[in-house]
Amino acid sequence: MARAGFAVSGILHLLIGLVAIRLAMGGQGEADVSGAVEQLAGQPAGPLLLWTSFAACVALAIWQASDAIFDFEHLPAKKKLGKKAKAVLQAVVYAGLAITLYSFANGAGKDHTTSTSDLTASVMKAPGGYLLLLAIGAAVAITGIVYAIRGFRQSFAKHLRLPASPRARSAVTILGVVGYAAKGIALLLVGLLVIIATIKVHPEESTGLDGGLKALRDQPFGIYMLAAVGVGLICYGIFMMVRAKLAKM
């Protein structure tokens, strides 16, 4: 079931990539997790897909949490802390996916762009909220840079049991490099939007992944960059589906 969670994440990224390409071609859509889940819900047997995906993401979140609690005990203290923190963050990410899937399966899906802006506004009004938002934006942007570096260094390969065939190994590696780079760019855009919205005190400009990709589209040569990111997110989605089979668990 935890492996299936990787596949669900892959499907959602693939759908986001397709929407990004559609936006680059002048179409409409929400290029974020909520938009992808909405597309999933609109398929034949949509409720079954949503509940199955929800169960898979819950399983993967539990597996990541168990890693944080029980694994890495043999490592030096500093390295152990880093690995456990990473597992906790991944558990939170997949728990968030599960919550989104549950909300749509339960008929309570909502506009993610609006909720992101509302959350930013609420945090901004809280004591210390300004600094907290800057820290969150910086953390997301740095995570994006880390993703891109991980892709170019191919460090993701150590978590996989790569196939014996040289051609298959090369295909998986290329998907990983392109996919991680695109995911990194997307996260960097989201982080920068949060920082800019906070500095300008305009929470409505903090519009999550969908807003980040649409902002990219409005730049010089933006449609080409957005299309490239869309292709990269599709590659990342396919990579995650492959990871469901090849991951060291």
Helix (H, G, I), strand (E, B) or coil at 247: strand
The pTM for the full model equals: 0.82
What is the rounded distance in angstroms from the CA atom of residue 223 to the CA atom of residue 219? 8
Q: Quote the tokens at residue 73.
A: 């005990």
Q: In tens digits, what is the pLDDT along the chain, a chain of 249 residues?
A: 889 999 999 999 999 889 889 888 888 877 778 888 888 888 888 888 899 999 999 999 999 999 888 888 788 888 888 888 888 988 988 998 898 888 888 875 554 444 555 566 676 677 777 788 788 888 888 999 999 999 999 999 988 998 889 999 999 999 999 999 999 998 888 888 878 877 876 655 555 676 777 777 777 888 888 899 889 999 999 999 999 999 888
> Residue type for 232, please?
G
Helix (H, G, I), strand (E, B) or coil at 158: helix
pLDDT of residue 27: 81
